[in-house]
Amino acid sequence: MGPVASVLPVLGFGFSSMLGSRTPAPNVTMQVLANRPQEEAAIREAQQRAQEARELAEHIRQEAREERQYARQRLEAAEEASRRAREEAHRVITEMLEAEKGASRARAEAEAAAQGARADATRLAEQAMQECERAREMQEQARKAEEDAKEEAKKAKKTAKKERQKADAARAEAEKAAKTAREEVKLAMSAKEEIKKRWKEGIQPVVTPTVTELEAAKRRVQYKEGLLHFAVAGVAGSGKSSLINAFRGLRNKEAGAAATGVIETTRAFDRYPDPNPQHPLVWYDIPGAGTLKIPDWQYFNAQGLYVFDCIIVLFDNRVTMTDIAILRNCARFNIPAFIVRSKADQHIRNVMKEMGYNSDNENSDPGSRERLYQEARQHFIEETRKNVKSNLENANLMGRRVYIVSNDMLLSIINGDAPRKAIDEMELLRDIVNETLARRGGAPEKSTWS
């Protein structure tokens, strides 16, 4: 493996040691501003709630009316039963009187007749007494039926009163909901005016994801505890897929490699677990900002970049507003971010051509070609660092290092070689490991990735 020490085993050890103690970094709380569709949705929801409350109150009133009607019907039925009971009692009494008259006649006949007639009279008297007892029992039943009817009527009145109270409470609740809805509409309109004011002043809104959005983003990226999730983001054509392939030790077009091409092939993020089982890493190829109809300042939240453990901001020719927005949001969410310029070997060759190098000249002096390469390399490195520093200062961002890499050099290091023309590839690998370990609470590693 040459003079470069192997870091893959050490990386595996570093990652394994930190997995058990990973504590997600706290998100910075920012004020939440809703956009216009959200405001209109809130208004519609409030109106819907008020309408549902009115319908519920009307339903309760209707049930109360039906309950009162049912109570009246039962009261009328009870009164009818009482009337019939009284009529039946009157009839029984009349029959009793008639029985008593018959008994008198029987006694007279018995006195005038023989002993057998007196026995008949006694029997008739007993029957009359039984009829009287039945009459009294029927009267008692009629009385109880009347009392039950009155009790039922009281219960019906009490139930009706409770229903009226429920209806009143529902009406009060509906009025409260309507008042709340009006207040929410007022707040939404106020927020809308504030957004318009800030927009006219050129202030871009800062949106903090909700807990629901955070969980949804984790599900979308298939976030798993115990793994490190690395996102490679940047504009279309910056070489994100090729860089991911190099990090994973794969060449473009190799089986399992991320798709690459001149035309941006990534419209939705792709997830690539590291093929080395000792590396608990998952790489994500994030869609280039130029391929989506998303403003620069919305790109970070729209892609859910706030759930990743580390973000590589990759650019080819220049730092864009999207790159600046990603770096600014990484600082907000305390996410390690690395600025990487790709295709270093191609850019150095272009500088050599601008300095007069002719690759088709087979008779060129090797020593002269090497000196020209070193000059072009130094010029390219200095200009890149100068431009990135200027872009960060203009954006009021803290200065940070830019890593200049070639995918071929990076792949060689990953596979255990020590390429002579490497620039920042080794430092990038080392710093990614150390920064991530520090974020997870582990001690920085001195070793490198090989």
pLDDT tens, position by position, 421-430: 888 889 998 8
Query: Dihedrals φ, ψ of 211, to 5°?
Result: -60, -40
CA distance 45 to 180: 12
pLDDT single digits (tens) 76-88: 888 888 898 888 8
187-192: long-range contacts, CB 8 A cutoff, minimum separation 24 = 188/34, 188/39, 188/42, 188/43, 189/39, 191/33, 191/34, 191/39, 192/36, 192/39
Query: Dihedrals φ, ψ of 291, to 5°?
Result: -95, -5
The pLDDT value given to residue 201: 45
| Token representation of residue 128 | 């009359």
- Is the Cβ–Cβ distance between 409 and 429 less than 8 Å? no
CA angle 440, 444, 445 (to 5 degrees): 125
362 contact partners, CB below 8 Å, separation of at least 6: none
Secondary structure tally for the chain: helices H, strands E: 11, 6
Q: What is the mean pLDDT of the chain?
A: 80
179 contact partners, CB below 8 Å, separation of at least 6: none
CA distance 368 to 354: 15
pLDDT single digits (tens) 277-303: 777 889 998 887 655 566 777 788 888
H or E element in which residue 18 lies: helix 8-19
Handedness of CA 353, 358, 359, 360 (dihedral sign): positive
Q: Is 236 helix (H, G, I), strand (E, B) or coil?
A: coil
Handedness of CA 382, 383, 386, 392 (dihedral sign): negative
pTM more than 0.95: no
pLDDT by position in tens, the chain (length 450)? 544 444 444 444 444 454 445 555 555 555 556 667 777 888 888 888 889 888 898 899 898 898 888 888 888 888 888 898 888 889 888 988 888 888 788 788 878 877 876 788 788 888 888 988 888 888 888 888 888 888 888 888 888 888 888 888 888 988 888 888 888 778 767 755 665 555 444 445 667 888 998 899 899 989 998 888 999 988 777 788 888 888 888 888 887 677 776 455 446 778 898 888 777 889 998 887 655 566 777 788 888 899 999 999 998 888 888 889 889 999 889 899 999 998 888 888 888 888 877 665 656 666 778 888 899 999 989 999 999 999 999 988 888 899 999 888 888 888 888 788 888 889 998 888 787 677 666 555 444 444
